[in-house]
Structure 1
Amino acid sequence: MYRRRRRSLLLGLVLVAAAAGGVAVARTGPPPTPPPTALPGRLPQAAGAGTHAAPQPVPSTGAGRFAAAGGGTSVQGEDGPLRRYRVVVEQGTGQDVDAFAASVDETLADPRSWIGSGELRVQRVADRAEADFTIYLATPVTSERMCAEGGLSTEGYTSCRLPGRVVINLARWMEAVPDYGAPLSVYRTYVINHEVGHEFGEGHEACPGPGRPAPVMQQQTYGLDGCLANAWPYVDGRRYAGEIIP
């Protein structure tokens, strides 16, 4: 009887001390699984989350045939001549033509884009006969071939513009360029505005000075020359430009 009471008393003291010290009393059964340990520079993976798949390589070549985005948009812009465009994507690239068209539409309808002048309007159409120009998303091999037809050498690396054709290099669309210093979305907006700017009659421009925004007509794919990445021709409601390069 005394021993039982002594054991009960001792057990009670242990439990009280454990509770006072913030120590959890283990239950019977196997110990709980410890949480994952974060590696240096990494966050612990959420429970049930799988590992991220490695980025898919960009195909260097495709079918050479293009699928066009259906439908169209309303007229964007306040006034001026209307320039209609259509959007196509090379087949075999794994790219969704409607998603690419949506990116193009969003860029060209933004008031910081070319309609910001108030003297130009744009609209996407599906019918080739109604389009003034076509925007292509093409693999490096196909884009190089298309650009070479107009006498332009891109070495399969850059995008280009020919009369009535804006050719966006798929590798640049998916990867941008090294040391661009801005997210991929910024580069994508830049390359659309740059090449469409050529279609609207704009020439190349130089960086106006270190630390300043790069003009959208600067060849930012080849480097920023001390400027900062910029995707828009209109900044703070005004046309932002650099010195014209002959």
Structure 2
Amino acid sequence: MATKGSARRGRPVTALLMAAWLSGCGIPAAAPPSPAGSTATPAPAGSDRADGSAQPVGPVAGTPARSGPAPVGYPADGTNRWQVAAGEPAAPRGTGRLLRYRVAVERDIRGLPVAEFAAEVSATLTAPQGWTTGGALRLWRVGPGGPADFTVHLATPGTRDELCGDAADGYTSCRNGDRVVINVARWVKGVPGYGADLAVYRRYVVNHEVGHRLGHGHERCPGRGRPAPVMQQQTLGLHGCTANASPYRDGRRYSGPPGAYADRVPPPEPGRRA
């Protein structure tokens, strides 16, 4: 942007440079220093199998400060060993049905601290228009060692196939019993043709798979140009609807006709290095 007014002919070069410096135009600002604590603390040794047969030494607490998005890396096939996030200090108030859940990130996934992923999951589940809208349901994130009604796993594509127990596609996410499995490849890359930013897709996939754990089946697009129900398989296609991450809209449960589409599942991608 030019400074207000015009420079007089013959104005000294030094004065022009000084004016430009004062106005901040055309001179790049120095990058701010990285915040303290930007290096994540290594996770403690130990493992937590998906079936709960072993637990990590301790929860990973606190979200480390970061100066910007870090690349997330993962192999195509992980080792089914887990970091489990710390729990929230107290159950949410209210009289609605209380479900406890854990959040776990496979140890082979690099660049995404378990506390950061857990914070996104919890914010999604308890957001306005989320599953706790209306107060009939309360969701409480608990740490390792205590009872939980289900676990949200962020898994590599190969481990996704192990945990889901369905057709091994390496591409989608799933719910299998008390396992809610988010494929890290979808978390990092989203899906083509979604028509919304990655943050919207991430909220959608968490709400969709947790919705299955809450007893909801698949739904179809209610009409071209309308928001897709959160229980529609938006990962595989919108079918004329627009992307939507929320199970409630305007304070009311938003749904479509029951059923699913015969969409082709894309092939899995290779792992991604950080």
The normalised TM-score by structure 1 is 0.76
Q: 1:1-246 maps to which residues of 2 (within 5 A)?
A: 21-26=8-13, 46=28, 58-76=74-92, 78-94=94-110, 95-148=112-165, 152-245=166-259
Q: Note the C-alpha offset of 1:211.
A: 0.6
* Partner residue in 2 for 1:11: none
Q: Cα deviations across residues 185-215 of structure 1 (Å, max 9, x unaligned)?
A: 1111101100000000000000001110000
Q: Cα deviations across residues 17-74 of structure 1 (Å, max 9, x unaligned)?
A: xx985344457xxxx9xx9xxxxxxxx894556xx99966553233320110123253
Structure showing greater Rg: 1
* Partner residue in 2 for 1:38: none
Aligned residue identity for 2:227? P
Q: Distance in 2 between matches of 1:154 and 1:45?
A: 54
Q: Note the C-alpha offset of 1:175.
A: 1.1
**Counterparts in 2 of 1:130 and 1:179: CA distance versus 1, 3 Å:** same
**Counterparts in 2 of 1:173 and 1:56: CA distance versus 1, 3 Å:** closer
Aligned residue identity for 1:108? L
* Partner residue in 2 for 1:5: none
Identity of paired residues, percent?
Answer: 51
Aligned residue identity for 1:207? C
**Contact kept? 2:75, 2:156, Cα under 8 Å:** yes
Q: Distance in 2 between matches of 1:122 and 1:142?
A: 26
**Contact kept? 1:78, 1:115, Cα under 8 Å:** no
Q: Distance in 2 between matches of 1:119 and 1:126?
A: 23
Residue-pair matches, total: 210
* Partner residue in 2 for 1:40: none
**Contact kept? 1:77, 1:120, Cα under 8 Å:** no
Q: Return 5+ residue gaps in structure 2 as ranges.
A: 1-5, 21-25, 32-67, 261-274
**Counterparts in 2 of 1:154 and 1:115: CA distance versus 1, 3 Å:** farther
**Contact kept? 2:84, 2:144, Cα under 8 Å:** no
**Contact kept? 2:106, 2:153, Cα under 8 Å:** yes
Aligned residue identity for 1:235? R
**Contact kept? 1:189, 1:231, Cα under 8 Å:** yes
Q: Note the C-alpha offset of 1:131.
A: 0.5
Q: Note the C-alpha offset of 1:115.
A: 1.0
Bigger relative CO (Cα 8 Å, ≥ 6 apart): 2
**Contact kept? 2:105, 2:114, Cα under 8 Å:** yes
Aligned residue identity for 2:116? A
Q: Distance in 2 between matches of 1:57 and 1:125?
A: 26
**Contact kept? 1:108, 1:122, Cα under 8 Å:** yes
What is the alpha-carbon root mean square deviation over aligned residues? 2.7
Q: Cα deviations across residues 98-147 of structure 1 (Å, max 9, x unaligned)?
A: 00000011111113111114211110101344101100000111112221
Q: Distance in 1 between matches of 2:254 and 2:76?
A: 35
SS of 1:115's equivalent in the other structure is coil
Q: Distance in 2 between matches of 1:147 and 1:235?
A: 30
The normalised TM-score by structure 2 is 0.69
Q: Which has the higher helix share?
A: 1
